[in-house]
Amino acid sequence: CSTTCGHGVRKRIVSCVNSHSHSVASKYCDPAKRPIDSHRCRMTHCPRWKTGKWSMCSVTCGRGVRTREVTCQKGRRTHLPDMECGKLPKPLENSMCMTISCPAYHWTATPWSKCIDPCKKSDQYRRVYCVSNLGKRAAPKMCSNETAPEMTRSCPATDCLYHWVPGPWSTCSKTCGTGFQFRRIECRVRSQNHSLSAEPNVQSRMCNGLARPSVSKECAMNPCDAKYRWSVGPWSQCSTSCGPGYRRRRVRCLDRDGRRVSRDLCGQSPDRPKRRESCFLRN
């Protein structure tokens, strides 16, 4: 056979001979009766590479490796040394594999807490979390390749002076006769670089020992039996959502029966209620 394994061809010489077994020209023999000079032959199975199934990827996300078994076999069951299949290129036993992208992790922090007293040494705090790029919180070890942000820091401490800052007086609690006016007072840090409205508030105890402005006082309106009196409506909202602004209210002159009359009849005394006053809102 022309091969040592697998399918091949066997050949033989066919000659035309006479009765004395001497070779003669082929024309003297009947072509229809000429024997075949070759036929297919099959030897034992040739060695070949046998591959198994690929394994699962070595990682659940990102780039990994998968493996499989590659053996040299003869037939279905006979295993041979790899050198027996050396004439054939050996299939890969390892291959790169890529699954879904792995989530990335990074540190995130909440805003710093406020300093309790800007004039004394204190600390600010915040919370620090490890999160994925999908916004989900993760275990701190997932962010171990990055340095975690600090969770505490010192507040800047300077020598500060405190003082009471009174707010505007409210309108008189009565529209006639004697009533009261009220106002708020706040303890603030005295600052040379900021306007009064921008000075930071602190706890009231920081102003203990300082002369405290009064928060109420008497106010005298027109006598209740007067022929005419002032009537005021509620204040409007401040004209701005933050910072300085103003607010308005309706001020009318009424007679004893509550009917609206000319403002001139109520006079132009200093007790006339304000129609407009300043206001200041903080964020």
Q: Name 7's bridge partners.
A: 42
Burial of 272 (0-12, 13-18, 19+ CB in 10 A): middle
HSE-up of residue 183 (Cα within 13 Å, Cβ side):
16
Q: What is the CATH number of domain 160-221?
A: 2.20.100
Phi, psi angles (nearest 5°) of residue 33: -100, 10
**C-beta atoms surrounding 172 within 10 Å:** 22
Q: pLDDT for 90-142, tens place per residue?
A: 999 999 998 888 888 999 999 999 877 666 677 889 999 999 888 889 999 99
- The model's pTM is 0.35
Six-digit token pair at 273?
Answer: 């209620």
**Nearest alpha carbon to residue 218 among 256, 172, 260, 251:** 172
Task: Note the pLDDT tens digit of each residue in 140-163.
Answer: 999 988 899 999 998 876 666 888
- The CATH fold assigned to 47-102 is TSP-1 type 1 repeat (2.20.100)
Q: Where are the domains of the chain?
A: 1-44, 47-102, 105-154, 160-221, 225-283
Assess whether the region 47-102 and the region 160-221 belong to the same CATH fold: yes
